[in-house]
Amino acid sequence: MTDYKLLAAQIRSLAEDEPHFIPVMSNASALLFENMEDLNWAGFYIMNKGSLMLGPFQGKVACIRIELGKGVCGTAAASDETQLVKDVHQFPGHIACDSASNSEIVVPIHCGGKVVAVLDIDSPSLGRFDEADREGLEQFVKALEETADFTQLS
């Protein structure tokens, strides 16, 4: 089982020396990819010019742009709600950046009261993510919001 409290503490510590969002997101994606089991992608999409643009990640090649309201990431950003999808093939409008992905969880990231990015985690297994992952990843994102400097994005 993933120790999300430890991961949140680690990302807080890593952000102390340099809070710029790019290195913090880079280390965050590496932490999650290395410490969560059964993943094929862990990373970020950043709000840019009215859509989501690929940010730091670990895993397979990914989509570069995602429109708001499209796919799991675009839905999370537009609705400002975590999306926990046990079977992406049943998700209306799913964008198949990687055909090996079968389940996904996406958590919005905020600065100045608005969504500035999303954390996106994919797995090749159906039903990989559950409520414990939702709670843990939302805590992890809260640590990011409190330590990383996202002001350039807001």
Give the whole-angstrom CA distance, residue 97 versus residue 106.
Answer: 14
CA 126: distance to chain centroid? 18
Q: Residue 126 sits in a domain of what CATH number?
A: 3.30.450.40
Give the whole-angstrom CA distance, residue 134 versus residue 114.
Answer: 20
Q: CA distances (Å), 100 to each of 32, 91, 108, in order?
A: 19, 15, 23
How many secondary structure helices (H) and strands (E) does the chain include? 4, 6
- Number of structural domains (the chain) is 1
pLDDT bin (cut points 50, 70, 90) of residue 4 is: very high
Please report the pLDDT score of residue 35 as a whole number: 97
Domain, as residue range, for 80: 4-153
DSSP state of 151: G
Q: Which residue has the tokens 């209306």?
A: 92
Share of the chain above pLDDT 70, in %: 100
Q: Which of 91, 76, 90, 89 is nearest to 138 (CA)?
A: 76
Total Cβ atoms within 10 A of residue 30 = 16
Q: Which of 148, 135, 112 is nearest to 12 (CA)?
A: 148
pLDDT tens column, 30-87: 999 999 999 999 999 999 999 999 999 999 999 999 999 999 999 999 999 999 999 9
pTM, to two decimals = 0.96
Enter the tokens of residue 14: 């890593």
